[in-house]
Structure 1
Amino acid sequence: MTLVLDISRLLRRSMKAAPTGIDRVELAYANHLLHPDRVAGARFLARTDGWSWNVPAPRVARLIEHVAARWAAGHPAEGAAQARRLEAFLGLDPGAFGSVGPVSANAATPSESAALRAALKVLLLGGGPLRAPPPPAGALYVNVSHQGLAAPAHLQRLLARRRLKALYLIHDLIPLTHPEYARAPDEAKHRRRMATVLGTAAAVIANSGYTARVFSDHAAAEGRPVAEVVAAPLGIDATLASSADPVCTPQPYFVTIGTIEPRKNHISLLHVWRHLVERHGPSAPRLVMVGRRGWENENVIDIVERCRTLGNHLIECADLSDQTLVQLMRGSRAVLFPSFVEGYGLPLVEAMSLGVPVIASSIEALEEIGQAVPDFVDPIDGLGWAQAVRDYAAPDSPRRAAQVARIGGFRPPRWDDHFEIFDALVRRLAAVPGTEPAAAFIAEPGRDAGRVGRPFSDRP
């Protein structure tokens, strides 16, 4: 069976200095499908504004190289500035976080349009016009990013015209199960995404057993169960553990990683830290908040920017290179995940794969992937979190040492494991005879969608 990976998100996100977890997943899938010894005859597709671009594999390989290098380096100017701020905050010598390049007064984040043009140049202009043929009838369309599922008319026409089966990777259903933690429009948007999946999927992969259960419950409630739903934990970068050495600081510090949004529960963590500073003064441990500012976070930002008590005990960072982040985690007493809800939790797995202890919320998804290694604390137990931080900050902490011993038995999920599950699912789908698309998804006849060397339109 021919596989067709939708790389629309990867193309759009190629302009960013730092990836999200979903970006890393689409990159991993593209890498997997580019290897003919693993998958024969894979195709790649990018969709935008009613057009579908069939992208030759060599162009995708060039795009991946461009994107991976950009993400590894972060934004040179901002990353260097953040690294220098971190060194001062943690009492380190300049350059402790490695050589990330000088800060230029004239350096600026490239505009979105300029960065996208650069990505398109890498993808489209590096060797003549596109000449990849369109997806063959009966191929398997693979979407691992939720990209384009909320406005599905274009995708539905593509699936119908080319008689494609569809396989989706679902990351979470949080806007449906916990709408209070999402932006107001996101509940309806995610409901449309899941309706697209339920209306077109031959099978679904979930990033955890928890997500698989929640999705199956949603499908049953909608009266539209999917034939097969499998859980395949996401892997981590195999080079992560050897990418950087830890830093040694004169004062203990902790790290929390995640977009500053309500479900990540930064607000409780900041109250815990104020409690610690009020009781322990200058000897209280420090907190490094890593993540971009998201939405509905005014209370958190007010504390970050205006709380005098926290003063020199808190720093916020958003543009760290991968190397700096790994060094930062390795030097910490623990990485903290106080979330109210998660679908998976890739940074938690990455921390433990580095041998770094984790203190995490006692929620189903994190308990599943943590394999009984982290210390789990209820996300609303402020005193429990404060005590855990105090215990781990101690120079010879028995509680921390116990987790370090447990980490020795932790087996991080690998991308090879994930793709074994994926490949087996593809083989099962290939053995199932093709079916006609649902009548509601069959587009009206239109112009030829398979013209060589040009994008094809799926507009009616």
Structure 2
Amino acid sequence: MRVLYDVSRLLSRAERTAPTGVDRVCLAYAEWLEGRPDVVMIPVRGRKGRLVAVDQTWFRNFVRNLRARWDGRTVNGAARHEARLLAALSHDQRPAESVICPPPDAALKPARDKPRVLRQFFRSRHAAPLPPADLYLNVGHTTLHEADALVALEEAGIARVVMIHDLIPITHPEFCRPGDADKHRARVVHALRHASSILVNSQHTADELSAFAERENLSAPPVHVAHLGIETAFAPGDAVRASRPYFIHVGTIEARKNLAQLLTLWRRLEERLGERTPSLVLVGRYGWENETVLDHLQRSPNLRGVVHQAENLSDGALVRLMRGARAVLAPSAVEGFDLPAVEACALGAPLIASDIPPHRELTPQAQLIDPLDGLGWLQAIEHATLSEPPAGVATFQPPRWSDHFDTVARAVGLGASSPLAARGEGE
């Protein structure tokens, strides 16, 4: 099977030293397609409403280098910050200052001259027609906000499989950038109208997609639920040995993660416990509408030396921090899958998570608390701080990429006697 794999999002992450959840998915698919002997992967990217091919040899090297960087096998610029964070956690006494990354300066304009690594993939063949293919695969949302590429593929008789990770910009636009709701609505509508089939990461996302299609009076193509896999690094093993108890949250610092409430609770915790207050580590990049979180981090005297923030950590450093935490915290108001919460369970780390549908579906053994129940969260964190660390956590069978890709292979017709038929063709 000749597969046009849309790598637009992955290429936009060329300089990142650590991935988001969606980035992990895009890289895993590239490696899966490259490793199948019955697939010819043709990387493509969106350009002005259409798809153009990316040099295959260059892209294979790009994928290997990106994997090495995200795994921590190559040195990145976050090493110094990582060392400062570990030193702060190792202090017997509360440090005088928190370890935090400076927030991005919105006034700064991006440099006009792109780094060479970014220029290389723009050397794709803009004018040349796409090579013959059986399937177009897009698991990164990018390109879907315009229908032109999907329509052209449909007219050419090429099957079209896309993944929808969540409908949060549509269902909860207050947590997203202005304009994101309209853009994501366009993506979902185009997928419903022009995709041969749709992949989703959870039953909750499938239910949200079905409800949206019904509201919009649209018929959905076949929808396949395939839980995302966990990287092999997220397994029991060595942990950070901190002098004081600490908790950790992993994810972009944005409004829907409920971190403003978490930091308010930490201030109350500090008022109660004083020098016994546990540390809190926020691991993630600054995202949208994080001003309240920044106010806490930068201005609250109660949180100084107690709450730390880091970004761009390698997987090696991240998993050691998660293993050593008294608990991983996932207080989100809304999620589609919440990969860090599932990763915490795979590590054997205690998890305190919001009582929302994805957590009930994917991490039922976690301690689930309503995201609005501030006192319940405070009590759970205080209890975990003052109690002895649990001797062990109930066995958890994490979702595997092999199971995920078995579902995907069946959905796209790999291994079947005939290739995947595009919806509506031959009718």
Q: Normalising by the residue count of structure 1, what TM-score does the alignment of the two structures yield?
A: 0.81
Per-residue deviation, 1:148: 1.3
Cα RMSD for the two superposed structures = 2.8
Judged with a 3 Å threshold, the aligned counterparts in structure 2 of structure 1 residues 328 and 113 are, in CA distance, closer, same or farther, namely farther
Residue of 138, 143, 151 corresponding to 1:148: 143
What CA distance in whole angstroms lies between the structure 2 residues aligned with 1:51 and 1:122? 16
What CA distance in whole angstroms lies between the structure 2 residues aligned with 1:261 and 1:198? 28
> Which secondary structure does the structure 2 equivalent of 1:312 belong to?
coil
1:34-53 equivalence runs, <5 A: 34-37=34-37, 39-50=38-49, 52-53=51-52
| Conservation of the 8 A alpha-carbon contact between 1:254 and 1:285 | yes
What CA distance in whole angstroms lies between the structure 2 residues aligned with 1:433 and 1:367? 34
Structure 1 alignment gaps of length 5 or more? 94-110, 439-460
| Conservation of the 8 A alpha-carbon contact between 1:15 and 1:115 | no
Q: Does 1:180 align with 2:166?
A: no
| Conservation of the 8 A alpha-carbon contact between 1:43 and 1:55 | yes
Q: What is the aligned partner in structure 1 of residue 204 from structure 2? A: 210
1:372-383 equivalence runs, <5 A: 372-383=364-375
> Which secondary structure does the structure 2 equivalent of 1:47 belong to?
strand
Per-residue deviation, 1:210: 0.3
> Which secondary structure does the structure 2 equivalent of 1:42 belong to?
strand
What CA distance in whole angstroms lies between the structure 2 residues aligned with 1:301 and 1:32? 39
What CA distance in whole angstroms lies between the structure 2 residues aligned with 1:3 and 1:112? 35
What CA distance in whole angstroms lies between the structure 2 residues aligned with 1:289 and 1:434? 44
What per-residue deviation string (whole Å, max 9, x for no partner) do you get for residues 170-196 of structure 1? 100011111121122111111111121
Q: What is the aligned partner in structure 1 of residue 3 from structure 2? A: 3
| Conservation of the 8 A alpha-carbon contact between 2:158 and 2:422 | no
Q: What is the aligned partner in structure 2 of residue 418 from structure 1? A: 404
Q: What is the aligned partner in structure 2 of residue 136 from structure 1? A: 132
1:265-304 equivalence runs, <5 A: 265-304=258-297
What CA distance in whole angstroms lies between the structure 2 residues aligned with 1:434 and 1:344? 27
| Conservation of the 8 A alpha-carbon contact between 1:63 and 1:119 | no
Q: What is the aligned partner in structure 1 of residue 98 from structure 2? A: none
> Which secondary structure does the structure 2 equivalent of 1:142 belong to?
strand
What per-residue deviation string (whole Å, max 9, x for no partner) do you get for residues 96-142 of structure 1? xxxxxxxxxxxxxxx877665315548969xxx99x983426x2211
Q: What is the aligned partner in structure 2 of residue 223 from structure 1? A: 217
> Which secondary structure does the structure 2 equivalent of 1:241 belong to?
coil
Q: Does 1:200 align with 2:194?
A: yes
Matched AA of 2:117: A
Judged with a 3 Å threshold, the aligned counterparts in structure 2 of structure 1 residues 189 and 159 are, in CA distance, closer, same or farther, namely same
Matched AA of 2:141: H
What CA distance in whole angstroms lies between the structure 2 residues aligned with 1:162 and 1:114? 37
> Which secondary structure does the structure 2 equivalent of 1:359 belong to?
strand
What CA distance in whole angstroms lies between the structure 2 residues aligned with 1:74 and 1:341? 33
> Which secondary structure does the structure 1 equivalent of 2:218 belong to?
coil
| Conservation of the 8 A alpha-carbon contact between 1:136 and 1:162 | no
| Conservation of the 8 A alpha-carbon contact between 2:159 and 2:420 | no
What CA distance in whole angstroms lies between the structure 2 residues aligned with 1:238 and 1:19? 15
Moved more, 294-303 or 26-35: 294-303
Judged with a 3 Å threshold, the aligned counterparts in structure 2 of structure 1 residues 194 and 383 are, in CA distance, closer, same or farther, namely same
What CA distance in whole angstroms lies between the structure 1 residues aligned with 2:341 and 2:119? 33
> Which secondary structure does the structure 2 equivalent of 1:159 belong to?
helix
What CA distance in whole angstroms lies between the structure 2 residues aligned with 1:396 and 1:314? 22
What CA distance in whole angstroms lies between the structure 2 residues aligned with 1:424 and 1:156? 21
Residue of 301, 320, 326 corresponding to 2:319: 326
Q: What is the aligned partner in structure 1 of residue 65 from structure 2? A: 66
Per-residue deviation, 1:431: 5.2
What CA distance in whole angstroms lies between the structure 2 residues aligned with 1:21 and 1:49? 26
Q: Does 1:26 align with 2:29?
A: no
What per-residue deviation string (whole Å, max 9, x for no partner) do you get for residues 145-180 of structure 1? 000112333x14541453322111110001111112
Judged with a 3 Å threshold, the aligned counterparts in structure 2 of structure 1 residues 14 and 86 are, in CA distance, closer, same or farther, namely same
Residue of 405, 419, 426 corresponding to 1:430: 419
Q: What is the aligned partner in structure 2 of residue 85 from structure 1? A: 84
What CA distance in whole angstroms lies between the structure 2 residues aligned with 1:60 and 1:201? 25
Moved more, 62-71 or 373-382: 62-71
> Which secondary structure does the structure 1 equivalent of 2:348 belong to?
coil
Per-residue deviation, 1:55: 3.6
Per-residue deviation, 1:310: 1.4
Per-residue deviation, 1:434: 6.4
Matched AA of 1:415: W
What CA distance in whole angstroms lies between the structure 2 residues aligned with 1:275 and 1:303? 12
Judged with a 3 Å threshold, the aligned counterparts in structure 2 of structure 1 residues 74 and 313 are, in CA distance, closer, same or farther, namely farther
Q: What is the aligned partner in structure 2 of residue 392 from structure 1? A: 384
What CA distance in whole angstroms lies between the structure 1 residues aligned with 2:212 and 2:397? 31
Moved more, 60-69 or 355-364: 60-69
| Conservation of the 8 A alpha-carbon contact between 2:193 and 2:219 | no
Matched AA of 1:297: N
What per-residue deviation string (whole Å, max 9, x for no partner) do you get for residues 29-81 of structure 1? 111111233x4333322222356332454433211012112223399564122
| Conservation of the 8 A alpha-carbon contact between 2:159 and 2:421 | no
Structure 2 alignment gaps of length 5 or more? 93-109
Matched AA of 1:260: I
Per-residue deviation, 1:241: 2.7
Instruction: Provide the identity percentage.
Output: 39
Q: What is the aligned partner in structure 1 of residue 243 from structure 2? A: 250
Per-residue deviation, 1:209: 0.6
What CA distance in whole angstroms lies between the structure 1 residues aligned with 2:14 and 2:189? 28
What CA distance in whole angstroms lies between the structure 2 residues aligned with 1:76 and 1:11? 20
What CA distance in whole angstroms lies between the structure 2 residues aligned with 1:190 and 1:116? 29
Judged with a 3 Å threshold, the aligned counterparts in structure 2 of structure 1 residues 338 and 431 are, in CA distance, closer, same or farther, namely closer
Per-residue deviation, 1:315: 0.9
